[in-house]
Amino acid sequence: MKKLLLFCFTLFALYADENSLLIKAVNALDRFMALPEERIPPRFLRQAGAIAIIPDMVRGGVIVGARYGKGILLIRQKGEWSDPIFIKMYGGSLGWQIGLESIDVVLIFKEAKSALELLDHAITLGADLSVAVGPVGRIAGAATDIEFKAKIYTYSRSMGAYAGIAFAGAKLEVDYEANQRFYRCDPAKLYLILQGKCHKDNPYLKILKQKLKEYSKW
């Protein structure tokens, strides 16, 4: 059964090329912002030091499940979003479950320096960086007394509905192969991507940045 689950995750990864991943990230962000009662507060987007979007993350298994997904990480620099770093998110999830389920995930990093740690080594949510389920909706966005103590706030949607999963124990790491394929530069020199020295004129990348800019102004 473990081999079958691994095969399913591998098959999923093969069909997740970088352009389709950017398109899925834009669509996932739109879904997170669509409903006023469940959206990520725009204030959180304005204050975020970085954001990770992992669309269509697969969760599933038999008795003890697993999670695997590919996504992107954008870091705010001088008020602007960087080009995306392609990343992976994976880890076990305890609980009784059968079958596979697709989940959209957004991680809001309070500070850019927390996200920069990921460029040096894999990080574990809840262990290396504190994590909590993020507040949603108009009330959360308007409130001024929300204590922003966690390093990362998580947002997740499953079957079109807000899921509210913290993902403690999940790991994030850089997808070096995806970065090399997309940018065609040394995958070990990730700071070149952040500095715009490996920039790629990509329409989906432009749409993603524009969406983040628009949603932050709501």
Residue 199 has what pLDDT? Answer: 86
Mean pLDDT of 162-186: 91
The pLDDT value given to residue 92: 60
Can you give the pLDDT at residue 59? 66
Return the DSSP state at 161. Answer: E
Highest mean pLDDT among 11-25, 79-93, 145-159 belongs to 79-93
Q: Report pLDDT digits (tens) over 44-74.
A: 999 999 999 999 887 654 444 567 899 999 9
Cα–Cα distance, 74 to 83 (Å, whole number): 6
pLDDT the model gives residue 66: 67
Lowest mean pLDDT among 10-24, 34-48, 78-92: 10-24
Percent of the chain whose pLDDT exceeds 90: 58
User: Any idea where the domains of the chain sit in the sequence?
Assistant: 2-216
Contact 115, 88 (CB under 8 A): no
Secondary structure of residue 171 in the 3-state scheme: strand
| Distances from the Cα of 201 to the Cα of 22, 77, 88, 98, angstroms | 13, 19, 23, 42
Beta-carbon count within 10 A of 148 CB: 14
**Residue 36 confidence class, pLDDT cut points 50, 70, 90:** confident
The reported pLDDT for the residue numbered 91 is 84
pLDDT of residue 187: 79
Q: pTM for this one? A: 0.84
- For 73-122, the pLDDT digits (tens) are 999 998 899 999 999 999 865 444 444 578 899 999 999 999 999 999 99
CA–CA gap between residue 176 and residue 182 (Å, rounded): 10
